[in-house]
Amino acid sequence: MDVSREQPRPPRVGLFLFGCFDADAVRRSLATIPADLHPRLHEVVVMDDRVGAADLPGLVRGDASTKLDVVVHRNPREHGFGGARKAAFEYARLRRLDWAICLRADADPPMAALRPLLDVLRAQPDTLLLVSRRGGGTDRPLWRRLANGLWSGLLNRTLGLRIADYGSSFRAVPMTILARIPYLVNADDRQFDVQLLIQ
């Protein structure tokens, strides 16, 4: 007797780009996303005041020449580091996304790191995932890497966690977690990321 099982739908994943200082940087970053990953990204959202849809010809939503669905989120005011992430998460919830992947437009780690991240999303639907900047591929100064290691070690001892890189801006946040924590009360500066991990 054949029993058909309904296959779970693929997760709706939004990629949110921050630190978009100019359109050229955004185009270079988007160009490095492997083509076979395009169908796995429900949409790409550029979170910055300084890059508009007119600056990204051939990339914005509705253009059939690209498989990426790119949206420019025009902020009405300067949000700050944490405020921009709050706006991104509220947009993700409004769009009924399952995941919000946060990444700097300068792509460190590179966009190729999206592949292993996307591979584990379905297996760990309620886990906030971080991509560590540790390793030989980073061009950050040695003193910054050492400072980050010391900071992460101190936070791990204080909080009883085992996180390799608290300062990484490359992270995937499930909406199931955001629905259960008061992230909107977090700081609008860089403390936001650490506060989110504590929550």
Beta strand ranges found along 76-165 (DSSP E): 99-104, 129-130
Separation in Å, CA 196 to CA 17, 87, 163, 178:
18, 14, 13, 9
Q: In this structure, are residues 43 and 95 in contact, taking their beta carbons and an 8 Å threshold?
A: yes
Q: Phi-psi region for residue 185, left (φ > 0), alpha (ψ -120 to 50) or beta?
A: alpha
Query: Which pairing describes strands 99-104 and 171-174: parallel, antiparallel, or unpaired?
Result: antiparallel
Residues 6+ apart with CB under 8 A from 119: none
Residue 139 pLDDT level (bands cut at 50, 70, 90): low
> What is the mean predicted confidence (pLDDT) over 47-66?
52
For residue 149, pLDDT over 50 is answered with yes
Summarize the chain as % helix, strand, coil (round to 5).
Answer: 40, 15, 45
Does this model's pTM top 0.75?
yes
Using alpha carbons, select from 153, 32, 181 the residue that is nearest to residue 104.
32
Cis status, amide bond into 110, omega within 30 of 0 = no
Q: What is the pLDDT of residues 75-114, one digit of tens each?
A: 666 678 888 899 999 999 999 999 999 988 765 556 777 8
Q: pLDDT exceeding 70 applies to what percent of the chain?
A: 76
Tens digit of pLDDT for each residue in 57-68?
445 444 444 567
Please answer whether residues 27 and 59 qualify as being in contact, where contact means their C-beta atoms are separated by less than 8 angstroms: yes
- Six-digit token pair at 143? 């003193």
DSSP 50: S
